[in-house]
Amino acid sequence: MIVLKTSRELALMREAGRISQRALREAGKAVEPGVSTWELDKIVKNYIEKAGAKPSFLGYGGFPASACISVNHVVIHGIPSKKQILKEGDIVSIDVGACLNGFHGDNAWTFPCGDVSKEAQDLMDATRESLFAGIAAALKGARLGDIGHAVQEYVEARSYSVVRDFVGHGVGAKLHEDPSVPNYGTPGRGVRLLPGMTIAIEPMVNQGAYQVKVLDDGWTTVTVDGRLSAHFEHTIAITPDGPVILTLPD
């Protein structure tokens, strides 16, 4: 069931979104060679808790950390570890959720660790811009397929691939709500977008094949061919005046 949010609920979601964005930004600032992914997770947890919120991911389905931190060929759901030390040239996807006053904000960004290759930078740039292409298509009266098509068209025009096995989702009082929001689709198909809908659009884009596999820990998801992957995400609201990004710092 899709839950349409009231103006009051949207205001609460904006506050949660601000905290999740600021926590993500603080962790991103710390991405540099020699830093462990565990240290980045600690930054996220401390920031969210000091802001009076709770990390949405901590304990969710048994997930053991406050952020998903995915390096290079890890697509999503990377588990932070003291043993995983970042090195020059890595690309680091950090996915953060914060819950405040019963509502969630969910966002992700991929950060370069020091100087990265042109190929890595191009992938990150394309993934980021595909997110904004998807957001631009999230208009009142449009369809979910319009969002997915906008992302897919942008990505595939640059010879990358969009992950099929994992998709975006509704966000609200639950971290994951209806509807599912694929990063591929057919224009004019799918659920109609109505004011009050709040969704996370999150392109997961691979340098090579779109296929992924989940490792034995039940979380870490990697590209099947070992090539790079990038991940960008915002929580947005559908409004009569166009899409509004809820995960902005101010």
pLDDT digits (tens, 9 = 90+) for 127-149: 999 999 999 999 999 999 999 99
Q: Region 138-163: what's the mean pLDDT?
A: 98
Residue 73 in this model has a pLDDT that exceeds 90:
yes
Domains of the chain, earliest start first: 7-245 (3.90.230.10)
Structure tokens at 217: 């820990």
Rg, Å, the chain Cα set: 17
pLDDT of residue 249: 83
pLDDT digits (tens, 9 = 90+) for 184-211: 999 999 999 999 999 999 999 999 999 9
pLDDT digits (tens, 9 = 90+) for 96-119: 999 999 999 999 999 999 999 999
Q: How confident is the model at residue 15 (pLDDT cuts 50, 70, 90)?
A: very high
Output the CA angle 128-211-72, nearest 5 degrees.
50
Q: How far apart are CA 21 and CA 232, in angstroms?
A: 12
Q: Is 102 helix (H, G, I), strand (E, B) or coil?
A: coil
